[in-house]
């Protein structure tokens, strides 16, 4: 291989031919102690799009000028102006989406409907390395129904000496537990390993055994190709503050497949579950919305939603296909540099670009010390116990030159 492939000049040349390079200028880029940082933490919190201050001030102005009149003129259907943006991101139709609450709250609300254990069908399948909040939520749902997690919870674990799950093993587990499965709830992309699961195959085999299938898309939304409707997934939930750059505390999104919209089973409801045209008749009997909004409970958090338009318009302009193409190039470039220049570091994330998104999960001797040193050198990434530091080159604002500089810093640390 030509030695110039991994030169700074080559990284600069790649940036000059990057079709998304202008989008970096649409974000506010952080500094630390007055110095620019290398920001590789979009998988934890995306950067702030420019214009967010104006968006917040606009809503503050409406509040100041209109008071309660702003409720009907601007806010009663505020969430609806964002739903079509999610059609290409989540892979569904706008009536299958709702914006509300926070992610784990929404998983609980969805499990009220989609986890109804019986004596014969009571198990939940999750990945053993699921995000802790998901594990807590699932365990508490099982306990709420008076069941024992030791019997009702099936955790998928990689084979010995492997870090990631094999799709064939997931399917085998689904088939072996068969009609005892009430719910399959996996992350679309595992937060720790960075592995993207074959959601289409999991949904297909879950349906075959009669289980509901849902996904936590926290690390998948705005990162990998999703087709929730076409894959016939029952439900999903995601946060909007990672790759989607909608800001800390931005409301979570949910997907409920349209086949469930005339839902007559259990669910928790509130005023916002009621159809808008009858909501203010103040009836004691609910007139439920017959789409995903029927799982809503309370009115929108206006100031938390206000920044979403700025961020989602960027995604609309870029398109998921172009985002993913550049993601493969950036993350592939980082993987190639690590494999060639940093033999002390092991990449836990799958080699196949179709089995990952932006994130690479890295393991090295004294990994936490390496991460702490990176922080001192103005690199923003994160550490996850017990042994991984995560780097996520994000196509909307990261560059090949930044990746090259990161690897040079790592080489000096490891020396």
Cα-flanking dihedrals φ and ψ of residue 240, to 5°? Answer: -110, 10
The residue to which tokens 């000096």 are assigned:
412
Write the CA distances from 11 to 95, 176, 317, 330, integer angstroms.
43, 49, 25, 10
Q: Over 361-376, what HEC string results?
A: EEECCCHHHHHHHHHH
State percent of the chain over pLDDT 90.
Answer: 97
3 has pLDDT over 70: no
Q: Calculate the dihedral angle through the C-alpha atoms of 38, 40, 44, 45, rounding to the nearest 10 degrees.
A: 50
Asked if the bond preceding 386 is cis, omega within 30° of 0, the reply is yes
Topology at the third CATH level for domain 56-315: 3.40.640
Tokens for 391?
Answer: 């780097």
Q: 188: which 2 tokens?
A: 């679309």
Domain ranges of the chain: 3-48+319-414, 56-315
Please state, in angstroms and rounded to a whole number, the distance separating the CA atoms of residues 125 and 413.
41
Query: What is the rounded distance in angstroms from the CA atom of residue 274 to the CA atom of residue 218?
Result: 27
Query: In CATH, what number does 3-48+319-414 get?
Result: 3.90.1150.10
187, 131 Cβ separation under 8 angstroms: yes
Give me the chain's average pLDDT, please: 96
**Spatial distance between the Cα atoms of 224 and 346, rounded to a whole number of angstroms:** 23
Task: List, for residues 292-333, the tens digit of each pLDDT value.
Answer: 999 999 999 999 999 999 999 999 999 999 999 999 999 999
Residue the block writes with tokens 């991994």: 6
pLDDT at position 130, please? 94
pLDDT tens, residue by residue, 75-129: 999 999 999 999 999 999 999 999 999 999 999 999 999 999 999 999 999 999 9
């Amino acid at each position: 291989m030509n030695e110039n492939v991994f030169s700074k000049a080559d990284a600069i040349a790649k940036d000059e031919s990057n079709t998304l390079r202008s989008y970096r200028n649409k974000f506010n880029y952080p500094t630390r102690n007055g110095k620019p940082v290398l920001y590789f933490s979009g998988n934890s919190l995306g950067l702030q799009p420019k214009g967010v201050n104006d968006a917040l001030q606009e809503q503050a102005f409406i509040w100041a000028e209109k008071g309660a009149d702003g409720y009907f003129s601007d806010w009663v259907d505020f969430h609806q102006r964002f739903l079509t943006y999610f059609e290409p991101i989540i892979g569904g139709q706008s009536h299958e989406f709702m914006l509300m609450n926070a992610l784990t709250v929404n998983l609980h609300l969805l499990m009220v409907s989609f986890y109804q254990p019986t004596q014969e069908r009571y198990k939940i399948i999750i990945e053993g390395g699921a995000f802790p909040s998901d594990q807590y939520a699932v365990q508490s749902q099982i306990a709420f129904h008076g069941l024992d997690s030791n019997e009702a919870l099936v955790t998928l674990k990689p084979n010995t000496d492997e870090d990631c799950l094999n799709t064939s093993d997931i399917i085998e587990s689904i088939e072996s537990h068969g009609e005892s499965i009430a719910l399959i709830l996996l992350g679309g992309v595992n937060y720790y390993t960075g592995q993207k699961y074959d959601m289409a195959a999991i949904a297909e085999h879950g349906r075959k055994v009669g289980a509901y299938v849902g996904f936590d898309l926290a690390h998948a939304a705005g990162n990998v190709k999703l087709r929730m409707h076409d894959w016939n997934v029952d439900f999903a939930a995601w946060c909007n503050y990672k790759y989607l750059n909608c800001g800390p505390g931005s409301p979570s999104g949910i997907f409920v497949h349209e086949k469930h919209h005339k839902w007559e089973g259990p669910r928790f409801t509130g005023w916002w579950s009621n159809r808008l045209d009858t909501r203010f008749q103040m009836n004691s009997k609910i007139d439920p919305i017959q789409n995903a909004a029927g799982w809503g409970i309370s009115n929108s958090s206006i100031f938390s939603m206000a920044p979403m338009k700025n961020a989602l318009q960027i995604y609309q302009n870029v398109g998921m296909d172009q985002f993913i193409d550049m993601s493969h190039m950036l993350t592939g470039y980082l993987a190639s540099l690590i494999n060639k220049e940093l033999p002390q570091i092991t990449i836990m994330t799958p080699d196949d670009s179709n089995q990952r998104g932006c994130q690479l999960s890295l393991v090295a001797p004294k990994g936490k010390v390496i991460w702490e040193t990176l922080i001192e050198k103005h690199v923003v990434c994160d550490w996850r116990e017990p042994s991984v530091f995560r780097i996520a080159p994000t196509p909307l604002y990261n560059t090949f030159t930044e990746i090259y500089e990161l690897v040079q810093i790592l080489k000096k640390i490891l020396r």
